[in-house]
Amino acid sequence: MSGPLIKARGVALSFGRTPALQGADLAADAGEVLAVMGPSGSGKTTLLHCLAGILTPDSGEVHFAGRRVDTLGETERSALRRDRFGFVFQFGQLVPELTAEENVALPLLLAGTRRAAALKEAGAWFERLGLDGLERHRSGELSGGQAQRVALARGLVGRPEVLFADEPTGSLDSLTGEHVMDLLVGAARERGTTVIVVTHEPRVAAYADREVIVRDGKATPLTARAGS
Amino acid sequence: MYRRDVYIERIVLDMSVPFTLLGLLEREPSHGYDLKRDYDAFFGRGKPLPFGQVYATLGRLARDGKVVVGEAESGAGPDRKRYVITERGATEFETWLTEPVEAEPHLQTVLFTKVVLALLLDRDAGGYLDAQRAAHLRRMRELTEIKRSGGLVDALLADHGLFHLESDLRWIELTTARLDALAKEVRS
């Protein structure tokens, strides 16, 4: 093992005068499922966004696959997010004008895959996630659980190395949320995808290999990384 | 380390073997052997009910008029007695079945005691709560894995554990957020 796939070191970021992160450290190995927990406003989503190259920290470093992320320009970070990362948010955030199938295919289309090939690849996810027959539905015609499974397929379709999930079950009831987590973790483990899931729900965190807790902008590991 | 048999023992056996056997007899009159087989299938995973306990329990139920023992069936071995639930047994079972179990926050009491003592003695209450949170989450991971790999009945039991542990965790979170204020109050 050549060290973690993704890590943050001493990451600090303020919004105006309000500090969101104050020297947060976090590392995840390839294939690891890591839960980031913490109270509301503790900085866990901000930390996720820094790791994913959505936000640039004021200080500290973010590394992915041995490469600095925080010093990259917007174009390079954008390419990184598109080609190597996947995302699932609390509210699926599907594009309402597109069908479910087109939503899933979106990362592939943006990466330059031909439409027919992208739709074929996307279509394969529908049976797997129990969404058969919903390919042509738009997001307004899907239940919360269905929409979130479509979002999950969209997050994984590009075979990302890291899947970032921010409260992926936050808008779902217990049973549906559980189903989504089962599928998310199952699919990620099958592919060796690293998952960083932000959650305030212990039942969601229990799907992870270990947890870190973010308090006052700092991350504390609750359980040691395997082998460390 | 979590073991399923320990969990079953704590949760299911506490529910009381006598009532469980009465419940199985409520379905249909049965032999001791069949009762044990059904008990083990539904409730005994990892911890089968010993035959001795089955017959001792049935003996007590018969003594108390909650079951009656039929004649031994001809040509059969010692186990060929059929047990039948009585009106009294059925009534008691019905009452037990619908009665909510007393909410016993035993664990919460232990957590509470440790936190207050830690604060009183100026020890690291936050460190203790983090360690407890990690232990809870570890057990929740084990239960989640049982859910993922087992059947629906396993999931039912695991869920019971998961929801209880989760409620403890919510208390741990709230207490962690209040530690400074609690320390002031405890030490004043």
* Mean local confidence (pLDDT), A135-156: 93
Minimal-distance CA residue of chain A relative to B132 = A222
Angle at B44 between CA B41 and CA B50, to 5 degrees: 105
Q: For helices A144-156 and A100-110, give the axis angle rounded to 10 degrees.
A: 20
More confident residue, B184 or B45: B184
Residue A210 distance to chain B (closest CA, Å): 8
Q: For residue B10, what pLDDT band results from cuts at 50, 70 and 90?
A: very low
Q: For residue A228, what pLDDT band results from cuts at 50, 70 and 90?
A: very low
Element counts in chain A: helices (H) and strands (E):
7, 10
Minimal-distance CA residue of chain A relative to B127 = A222
Q: What is the mean pLDDT of chain A?
A: 91
Instruction: State yes or no: pLDDT of A225 exceeds 60.
Output: no
Which residues in chain B are closer than 8 Å to A202, comparing Cβ atoms?
A: 136-137, 140, 165-166, 169-170
Instruction: State yes or no: pLDDT of A92 exceeds 80.
Output: no
More confident residue, B97 or A7: A7
Instruction: State yes or no: pLDDT of A119 exceeds 90.
Output: yes
d(CA B68, CA B62): 6
Chain segment A159-174, per-residue pLDDT in tens: 999 999 999 998 888 8
Q: For residue B106, what pLDDT band results from cuts at 50, 70 and 90?
A: low
Residue A51: name the closest of A8, A2, A105 by CA: A8
What pLDDT sits at residue B12? 45
Residue A107 distance to chain B (closest CA, Å): 30
Q: For residue A133, what pLDDT band results from cuts at 50, 70 and 90?
A: very high
What pLDDT sits at residue B102? 65
Count Cβ atoms within 10 A of the Cβ of residue B50 and give its class: 0-12 exposed, 13-18 middle, 19 or more buried: exposed
Instruction: State yes or no: pLDDT of A180 exceeds 80.
Output: yes
Q: What residue has token string 């239960």? A: B143
**What is the side-by-side order of every strand in the sheet holding A6-15?**
A18-28, A6-15, A59-64, A67-68
Residue A138: name the closest of A150, A125, A128, A156 by CA: A150
What pLDDT sits at residue A79? 92
Do A154 and A95 meet the contact criterion of CB atoms below 8 Å apart? no
What pLDDT sits at residue A163? 96
Chain segment A34-43, per-residue pLDDT in tens: 999 998 889 9
Q: Chain A interface, mutation test: which of B138, B141, B171, most A Cβ atoms within 10 Å?
A: B141
Tokens (6 digits) for A144: 């919360």
Do A200 and A40 meet the contact criterion of CB atoms below 8 Å apart? yes
Residue A223 distance to chain B (closest CA, Å): 6
Task: Report CB contact under 8 Å: B169, A220.
Answer: no
What pLDDT sits at residue B70? 83
**Predicted complex ipTM:** 0.82
Q: In Å, what is the CA distance from B155 to each residue of A185, A215, B8, B58, B89?
A: 17, 32, 13, 30, 30
- pLDDT > 70: percent of chain A: 96
* Mean local confidence (pLDDT), A199-209: 93
* Mean local confidence (pLDDT), A124-152: 92
d(CA A65, CA B63): 72
Do A61 and A11 meet the contact criterion of CB atoms below 8 Å apart? yes
Which residues in chain A are closer than 8 Å to B133, comparing Cβ atoms?
A: 213, 222
d(CA A218, CA A25): 7
* Mean local confidence (pLDDT), A83-97: 89
Pick the CATH number of B7-98 from 1.20.140.10, 3.90.1170.10, 1.10.10.10, 3.90.190.10: 1.10.10.10
pTM: 0.79
- pLDDT > 90: percent of chain A: 78
d(CA B22, CA B91): 10
What pLDDT sits at residue A223? 66
Domains and CATH numbers, chain A: 6-221 (3.40.50.300)
Q: For residue A227, what pLDDT band results from cuts at 50, 70 and 90?
A: very low
* Mean local confidence (pLDDT), A14-26: 94
Chain segment B33-91, per-residue pLDDT in tens: 999 998 888 777 678 899 999 999 999 999 999 999 987 776 555 567 899 999 999 99
- pLDDT > 90: percent of chain B: 36
Minimal-distance CA residue of chain A relative to B138 = A206
More confident residue, B171 or A227: B171
